A and B are shown apart, each in its own frame.
Chain A
Amino acid sequence: MGLAPSGPGAAFAGNLVDMLRLARALRDEMVAHARADHPDEACGLVAGVDGEATRVIRMTNIARSPTFYEMDPGEQLHVFREMDDRDEELFVIYHSHTATEAYPSRTDISIAGYPDAHYVLVSTRQPDVEEFRSFRIVDGVVTEEPVEVV
């Protein structure tokens, strides 16, 4: 897979690695969070250092809804500041869908405001099946990227 064609957002493509690579423990942590909050949607962040995912940060979904999530704005600012202080970057924004596939909804796409982040979707619609996918969302264009668990 070459660099993702992202239309007007292609200017970002030069900075992006077109895949998500992360440790199994981090992926498992996101899935566990999604399962724990089911049937409500879960949301959180993964911080990274030098292009490598380092830790999962569970965030509060103030909507507490099976069909919507919104990170607590105060908590968001606090965590962003903390990441700055630790020289971390915002690596992944993840959330769960609890009854539908792990693919960005139209709502997800319209609100997506972080063109440099990997958007991870976890579906918890089936208790025994893990659905974990990663995307770029730039200028309303969704590009799925492979996930490599190491």
Chain B
Amino acid sequence: MTVQVRIPTILRKHTDGAKQVEGSGETLADLFSDLDGRHPGLRGGLVTDDGDLHRFVNVYVNDEDVRFLGAISTPLADGDVVTILPAVAGGAAAGAMCAVAGGAAAGAMCAVAGGAAAGAMCAVAGG
């Protein structure tokens, strides 16, 4: 089975500039592990150390946000198209948000990824 994966600009450094790559896996988690074998570093831009999707990465399977499917465990089928988009988010928030932002800003999606940090952001986003 083969899945097409659309890669955003900021992650193309892991795909030799390719906008789209192919992979396979029963679930999104499997797919990202499969891709990381050929595109080292890609998975780290998408998945936290705890194995969850980064808070500020949007992943869609056939245009459906995986938050409404099975998140990182979303099942995949042959011919599916996976689209990855960095979330467009930010804001003037202080306190918890600054702690989050204080990390290595370079990784963008990666920097925000840290487990506890994501929770803090959610709290603010929900308020």
Contact = CB atoms under 8 A, between A and B. Distances in A.
Nearest to B101: A106
B58 A76 contact: yes
Contacts of B103: 110
B116 interface: no
Interface of B is mostly: mixed
Nearest to A43: B88
A69 B91 contact: yes
B60 A77 contact: yes
A49 interface: no
B85 interface: yes
Interface residues of B, number: 38
Contacts of A112: 90, 108
A116 B9 contact: yes
B124 A114 contact: no
A114 B86 contact: yes
Contacts of B97: 67-68, 105-107
A118 B74 CA distance: 34
A74 interface: yes
A68 B91 contact: yes
Interface in A66-122: 66-71, 73-74, 76-77, 80-81, 93, 95, 97-100, 104-116
A18 interface: no
A70 B126 CA distance: 10
A67 B100 contact: no
B18 interface: no
B93 A111 contact: no
A2 interface: no
A132 to B, nearest CB: 16
B58 A77 contact: yes
B109 interface: yes
B60 A140 contact: no
A109 B10 CA distance: 14
Interface of B: 8-10, 56, 58, 60, 63, 65, 67, 83, 85-94, 97-98, 100-106, 108-109, 111-112, 121, 124-127
16 contacts: A41-B92, A62-B125, A67-B97, A67-B124, A71-B89, A77-B58, A105-B93, A105-B97, A105-B101, A106-B98, A106-B105, A107-B97, A108-B90, A110-B101, A114-B88, A140-B111
Nearest 4 CB-CB pairings of A with B: A113-B86, A140-B105, A106-B101, A108-B90
